[in-house]
Amino acid sequence: MNLPNKLTIIRMISVPFFIVFYMFDLRIAAFILFVAAAFTDMLDGKIARKYNLVTNFGKIMDPLADKILVYSAFCLMVQNGLVPAWMFIVILAREFVVSGMRTVAASEGIVIAAGMSGKIKTVLQMIAVPLLLLVGVFTQPTVDASIALAANIFLWASLIMTVVSGVEYVYKNKNVFSM
């Protein structure tokens, strides 16, 4: 197994630890682990492309690892009101639609690559989560308010890109509906 795939597996293995840290209100530990895991996402892609280590495993598992990491965080954050439930439902609905379309296309031997808007969505989500993790951590009201504002800006931006990328994906791949 090559290094990029090992990094993807490490990201997936980190999720249960992230969940435990979050559930025990160890926000700084959860923050550090999430940022490290998000960093492995950037790193595995760069290494895979630079050294021509792109594999079918990586093509499937890398985006899946991202989704497991980010949506686990969002799910936990719904519980304490940091992420509105309706927003999480919209985000999940887009993922189910895109995954369903990819599955149908794959059954016909067609691979549909991720678009730039989907990558931007993921980056915005991976910025929103750590910021949300820091909300309420600092005792200074102005610092906490600034972090909360930044977190909500990135959360809303990620929601907008979720919808935009979903619509773009469906439009560009509408032929999947006739398969």
The residue whose two tokens read 């972090």 is 147
Map out the domains of the chain as residue ranges: 3-178
The residue whose two tokens read 């990328």 is 165
Please, what sign has the CA dihedral across residues 135, 43, 8, 121?
positive
Spatial distance between the Cα atoms of 127 and 129, rounded to a whole number of angstroms: 6
What Cα–Cα distance (Å) separates residue 31 from each residue in 58, 73, 75, 134, 169? 25, 10, 15, 7, 31
Per-residue DSSP letter, 83:
S
- Tell me the pTM: 0.93
Whether residue 105 has pLDDT greater than 90: no
Return the pLDDT at 56.
83
Whether residue 18 has pLDDT greater than 90: yes
Q: How would CATH label the architecture of 3-178?
A: Up-down Bundle (1.20)
pLDDT tens column, 115-154: 899 999 999 999 999 999 999 998 899 999 999 999 999 9
Name the region of 113 (left: φ>0; alpha: ψ -120 to 50; beta: rest). beta
Joined together, the tokens standing for residue 13 give 């293995």
